[in-house]
Amino acid sequence: MIKSRIASIFVLAWAAACWPQTATGNVVLFYSAGKPQVEFAVGEIRAALTAHQKSAAICDLGALALRREPLKLVLASSVKESRRVAVALGLEPRVPNTNPQAYSIRRHDQAGRITYAVLASDAVGAMYGGLDIADAVRLGTLPSVRAGDHAPFIANRGIKFNIPLDARTPSYSDAGDSAQQNIPEVWDIGFWHEILDELARQRYNVLSLWNLHPFPSMAKVPEYPDGALEDVKRTTEKFDSSYDLTGRDMVRPALLAHMETVKKMTIEQKIAFWREVMDYAHDRGIDIYLFTWNIFVWGADGKDGISSAQDNPVTINYFRKSIRATLLTYPRLAGIGITAGENMQNLKGDLSNEKWLWDTYGKAIEDVKKIQPERFIRLIHRAHQANMREIVTEWKQTSALFDLSYKYSVAHMYSLTNPPFAKRDLVDMPPGMRTWMTVRNDDIYSFRWGDPEFARAYPRGMPGPNVLAGF
């Protein structure tokens, strides 16, 4: 009698954890709360169910064996949870793939009661599996979902975003009306919630933000306090087609003479803003990287003796301190991408392009690693306008995870599914070094990409995992 009462209390306790209590019990969704990536997938599943006029009871995983509704959806986001679910369903009590992002889907049918279980070893894998379930519900194909093991064909799948932070700190192609109109958009947190949610839905897990010289708009450098820019500004000056395509005259005096403030912000508020963006990205399984071209000093030019001259020791020190401050300011920043081109003067000896990059970006990373030895920092060095032998020589001392980046189809991703350039140019890449493929879509101005056969074949034509870090 005592055992019976204890069992009843246990059932009631877990029943109280299920929300809402539905008389019909269309679907019961089981997961452990508290992991934002899983919570996002749960929200997507519930939205898909609602669109089909189905209700969903939300329950903790501990109640899995106690509910008897005709349809259960289960998300397990750790090895321990996945084993517990497998045992409860009478499945093999192991996780088929424990790699990051991987997941398995299992279907269990007992007396007409069907359970779809996502078994993952981490929250991101559970999110992707949950999004698969949400897609199936949305498309009405859930009955045809079968057991399967899933792992990414390409580990890192990213977006290249030329980000117009401010008319004073432009990106590469901001000398135009569209960039100026988009400046206030990138300082709107709602924009980032929308785009990061959509990237997660499309299984992207990297967002790279590209700017000629982002530091004055994003960081406060103690050694250069006058460098931080207050407020967000754009220009009202009319543009023409006379701007240099290398970014070297992106900020003209006429532009600075016709500025308007689109948002009042202190540098502290800007930092809080970007921390929130990076936290939200993390909650969607997305790493953020900051990419630069060199040497550009927009927003800091002329302050404290700073210039774009490659042999200016003030500029070298300023960059080192700025990159150090940026990495320390943003613990969620996954890494930095660099370019040895556009505005470097190709000096020789101790002031060569690669030595300059090492003395600025490289040494800044080493500074941060001394302060935060457990910090994961990836440096992605673009092969664009660079020499492979010099890269290898100068960067062999870095403690960062070091990758290359290569223009995979040059600028024409809509041409061939197996472009020959990477196979030709990356043959001398050192063992252990991998590369990211920058997939440029300049042809979008002329063509509209809509062939699913081509879209499927393109990533599968990329080099194998021993070479490929991502795209």
End-to-end CA distance of the chain: 63
Q: What is the pLDDT of residues 247-293, one digit of tens each?
A: 999 999 999 999 999 999 999 999 999 999 999 999 999 999 999 99
Q: Which of 49-58, 88-97, 294-303 has the highest mean pLDDT?
A: 294-303
Q: What is the pLDDT of residues 108-149, one digit of tens each?
A: 998 888 999 999 999 999 999 999 999 999 999 999 999 999
Residue 446 belongs to some domain of the structure: no
d(CA 183, CA 262): 8
| H, E, C per residue of 30-81 | ECCCCCHHHHHHHHHHHHHHHHCCCCEEEECHHHCCCCCCCEEEEEECCHHH
Residue 454 belongs to some domain of the structure: no
Q: Residues with Cβ < 8 Å from 226, sequence gap 6 or more?
A: 303, 304
Domain that holds residue 133: 2-150
253 in the same domain as 125: no
Structure tokens at 300: 């800091």
186 in the same domain as 142: no
184 in the same domain as 141: no
Residues facing 106 on adjacent strands: 117
Q: Which of 192-201, 387-396, 403-412, 462-471 has the highest mean pLDDT?
A: 192-201
Give one word for 387, left, alpha or beta, with left for phi > 0 and alpha for psi -120 to 50.
beta
CATH of the domain at 117: 3.30.379.10
Residue 436 belongs to some domain of the structure: no
- Domain count within the chain: 2
Q: What is the pLDDT of residues 313-329, one digit of tens each?
A: 999 999 999 999 999 99
State which of 128, 150, 172 marks the end of a domain: 150
Cβ pair 289, 211 in contact under 8 A: no
191 in the same domain as 115: no
CATH of the domain at 208: 3.20.20
Structure tokens at 403: 């990758």
Q: What is the pLDDT of residues 154-178, one digit of tens each?
A: 999 999 999 999 999 999 989 999 9
234 vs 412, higher pLDDT: 234
d(CA 42, CA 33): 10
Please state at what angle helix 36-51 crosses helix 123-139, rounded to 10 degrees.
10
Q: Read off the pLDDT band of 8 (50, 70, 90).
A: very low
239 in the same domain as 219: yes
176 in the same domain as 287: yes
Residue 64 has a pLDDT of 84
106 in the same domain as 162: no
288 in the same domain as 306: yes
Question: Side-chain half-sphere of 128: how many Cα atoms within 13 Å?
Answer: 22
| H, E, C per residue of the chain | CHHHHHHHHHHHHHHHCCECCCCCCCEEEECCCCCHHHHHHHHHHHHHHHHCCCCEEEECHHHCCCCCCCEEEEEECCHHHHHHHHHHHCCCCCCCCCCCCCEEEEEEEECCEEEEEEEECCHHHHHHHHHHHHHHHHHCCHHHCCCEEECCCCCCCEEEEECCCECCECCCCCCCHHHHHHCCHHHCHHHHHHHHHHHHHCCCCEEEEEECCCHHHHCCCCCCHHHCCCCEEEECCCCCCCCCCCCCCCCCHHHHCCEEEEECCCHHHHHHHHHHHHHHHHCCCCEEEEEECECCCCCCCCHHHCCCCCCCHHHHHHHHHHHHHHHHHCCCEEEEEECCCECCCCCCHHHCHHHHHHHHHHHHHHHHHHHCCCCCCEEEEECCCCCHHHHHHHHCCCCCEEEEEEECCCCECCCCCCCCHHHHHCCCCCCCCCEEEECCEHHHHCCCCCCHHHHHHHHHCCCCCCCEEEC
199 in the same domain as 231: yes
Residue 415 belongs to some domain of the structure: no
Structure tokens at 168: 């004073």
194 in the same domain as 136: no
State which of 150, 183, 215 marks the end of a domain: 150
Q: Residues with Cβ < 8 Å from 241, sequence gap 6 or more?
A: none
Please state at what angle helix 123-139 crosses helix 189-201, rounded to 10 degrees.
80
47 in the same domain as 13: yes
Phi/psi at 262 (nearest 5 deg)? -100, -15
Residue 458 belongs to some domain of the structure: no
State which of 115, 133, 150 marks the end of a domain: 150
Residue 365 belongs to some domain of the structure: yes
- pLDDT value at 20 more than 80: no
Residue 463 belongs to some domain of the structure: no
Maximum Cα interatomic distance, the chain, rounded to a whole number of Å:
89
175 in the same domain as 120: no
Residue 433 belongs to some domain of the structure: no
